[in-house]
Amino acid sequence: MQVGEVAAGPLVRAIVCAVSLPDGRIEYGVLFTNLPAEKYAATEMWGLYQGRQGIEAFFKTCGQTYGMSNLRSTEFRAISAYLWLVFITHNLLQWVKRDLFAGSALAAVGTHELVSKLGRIVAWRERTPSGWRLHLPSFDALARRFGAALTPDWVQLELRLYES
C-alpha cells in the first residue's frame, strides 16, 4: 500500500492510496479532506478514513435495531440526546449479554434479534411474599431462554437485623 498527496485546491487535500491486489492489479482510492497536513499526515488520514467503516456499520445496525431511522427531529440537541441514549442502550445490552447471559443460549443471540423479539414480549412482574415473579405469557423459545437467564439458581434469605 502506498499513500501520497496530489494537488486538489487551496483549502482541500487529496490523499491517494494505491493498493496491490492479489492478482497483480493496482486499485486506487482518493480521500478529500480539509484537515491540515501539519496536524494529520496522509497515511494517518487514510487510516482514519478506513476506520469509518466500523462506525458506518454501527449506525446501520442502530438504524435497524433501535429505530434510529425513525427519528423525527432535525434539531441538533435532540439528535445528540437520542444518539447518547442509543449508545448507552447498546452498551448495556452488550454487557447484559456478556455477564448476565454468560453460559446461556442468549449469549450468542444477536442484538437485533434480542431487541426485536424481546422488545415485543408482553410481560409483567408481581411481588410475592418470597420476592418477585416474572410473568412471560409468550411460549416463544427466546422468551423461555430470557426467563431462564433471569431466574437465579439461588434463593434470597431474609435477614432481620431488628424487630419492628
Number of C-beta neighbours around residue 46 at 10 A:
20
The set of cell numbers assigned to 36 is: 491540515
The residue among 65, 82, 115 that closes a domain is 65
How far apart, in whole angstroms, are the C-alpha atoms of residue 72 and residue 69? Answer: 9
The residues near 13 (Cβ < 8 Å, ≥ 6 apart) are 5, 32, 33, 34, 35, 37, 42, 45
Question: Is pTM beyond 0.75 here?
Answer: no
Domain tally, the chain: 2
Last residue of a domain, one of 20, 50, 65: 65
Query: Could you list the pLDDT tens digit for every one of the 164 residues in the chain?
Result: 788 888 778 888 888 888 888 898 998 888 888 888 888 888 888 888 877 777 888 778 777 788 777 777 788 888 888 888 888 888 888 888 888 888 877 788 888 887 777 666 677 778 888 888 877 666 566 666 766 666 666 666 677 777 76
Q: Which domain holds residue 114?
A: 95-150
Residues 10 and 60 in one domain: yes
State the pLDDT at residue 23: 92
Closest Cα partner for 46 from 12, 2, 9? Answer: 2
In a domain, 40, yes or no: yes
Q: Is residue 79 part of a domain?
A: no
